[in-house]
């Protein structure tokens, strides 16, 4: 019995620093948020999902809530006429582009904090800092960046406008996000920020998992894991479908 007590105490001493780090990851306790569901399951008939987030703040101030997907390298291309044919003429690649980004604000961005502070934490489309690849003029890079943001907005992966944050009472708040049917899979971060007088008081971060399940997940894994076999299967299926349609509609 004494051996087990010593073992428990020793384990507690070892794990205490890690518990302290975990407690410090989410600030000083002035802000807490929770998603109604920490995962989005994409099935064959998935048509999008509504995400609700609830939270409590224990101090006066304004809020910003950001959902951000993993970052990838993306390329933007511009078309032009070459001998009367529209084709790609120029392109610009960017690194550190989130596959999905959305945010909710309790006040206008300029009323939350100075632009430098918003940019530091990536709050707002103007604050997103994509790393350009190659050497082009700042004007050209800015033009391609604006085009990238427009393309992502058209896909529903970037917001047209920030969502609203509703206060149910003085401390309790709620906001809603809509996840489109073409949302990229992966691990997302949901971060809430509490500002007062242009200063960041606290932040709280949680995670969201977007993944395919069921038949669509198996089909996705098969297509990416066995690309050649998937391609041959698709061709064979198309041939069989065409032949079956021909035999069914053929007139004697």
Q: State pLDDT tens for residues 126-178.
A: 899 899 998 889 899 999 999 999 999 999 999 999 999 999 887 899 999 99
Mean pLDDT of 100-105: 96
Digit-coded pLDDT (tens) for 38-71 = 889 888 888 899 999 999 999 999 999 999 999 9
- For 182, residues 6+ apart whose C-beta sits below 8 A from its C-beta are 155, 156, 157
**Could you tell me the domains of the chain?**
26-212 (2.60.40.1930)
Q: Which residue has the higher pLDDT, 238 or 40?
A: 40
pLDDT of 84 reads 64
How many CB atoms sit inside 10 A of residue 34's CB?
A: 13
Separation between Cα atoms, residue 232 and residue 223, nearest integer Å: 11
**Looking at the chain, how many residues does it have?**
252
Q: Is the pLDDT of residue 22 over 60?
A: no
- d(CA 174, CA 206) in angstroms, rounded, equals 15
Task: Say which residues have a Cβ less than 8 Å from residue 205's Cβ, sequence separation at least 6.
Answer: 25, 26, 189, 190, 191, 192
For residues 37 and 231, what is the distance between their CA atoms, to the nearest angstrom? Answer: 36
**Segment 181-237, tens digit of pLDDT:** 999 999 999 999 999 999 999 999 999 999 877 555 555 555 556 566 657 666 776
At residue 230, the pLDDT reads 56
How many CB atoms are located within 10 Å of the residue 123 CB? 25
In this prediction, residues 81-96 reach a mean pLDDT of 77
CA 160, distance to chain mean position in Å, is: 15
pLDDT for 9 equals: 37
pLDDT reading at 246 higher than 90: no
Q: Tell me the pTM.
A: 0.73
Residue 89 scores a pLDDT above 70: yes
* pLDDT on residue 229: 64
Whether 74 shows a pLDDT value over 90: the answer reads yes
């Amino acid at each position: 019995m004494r051996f087990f007590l010593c073992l428990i105490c020793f384990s507690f001493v070892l794990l205490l620093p890690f518990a302290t780090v975990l407690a410090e990851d989410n600030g000083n306790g002035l802000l807490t948020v929770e998603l109604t569901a920490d995962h989005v399951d994409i099935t064959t008939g998935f048509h999008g999902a509504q995400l609700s987030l609830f939270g409590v703040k224990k101090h006066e101030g304004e809020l910003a809530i950001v959902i951000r997907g993993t970052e990838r390298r993306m390329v933007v291309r511009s078309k032009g006429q070459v001998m009367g044919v529209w084709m790609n003429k120029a392109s610009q690649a960017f690194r550190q582009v989130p596959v999905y980004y959305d945010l909710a604000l309790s006040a206008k961005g300029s009323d939350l904090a100075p632009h430098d502070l918003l940019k530091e934490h990536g709050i707002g489309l103007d604050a997103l800092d994509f790393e350009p690849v190659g050497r082009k003029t700042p004007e050209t890079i800015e033009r391609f960046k604006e085009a990238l943001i427009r393309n992502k907005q058209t896909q529903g992966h970037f917001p047209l406008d920030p969502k609203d944050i509703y206060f149910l009472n003085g401390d309790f708040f709620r906001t809603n996000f809509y996840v489109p049917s073409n949302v990229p899979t992966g691990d997302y971060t949901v971060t809430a920020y509490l500002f007062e007088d242009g200063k960041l008081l606290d932040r709280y971060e949680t995670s969201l998992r977007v993944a395919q399940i069921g038949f669509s997940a198996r089909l996705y894994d098969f297509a990416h894991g066995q690309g050649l076999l998937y391609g041959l299967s698709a061709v064979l299926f198309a041939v069989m479908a065409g032949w079956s349609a021909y035999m069914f509609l053929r007139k004697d």
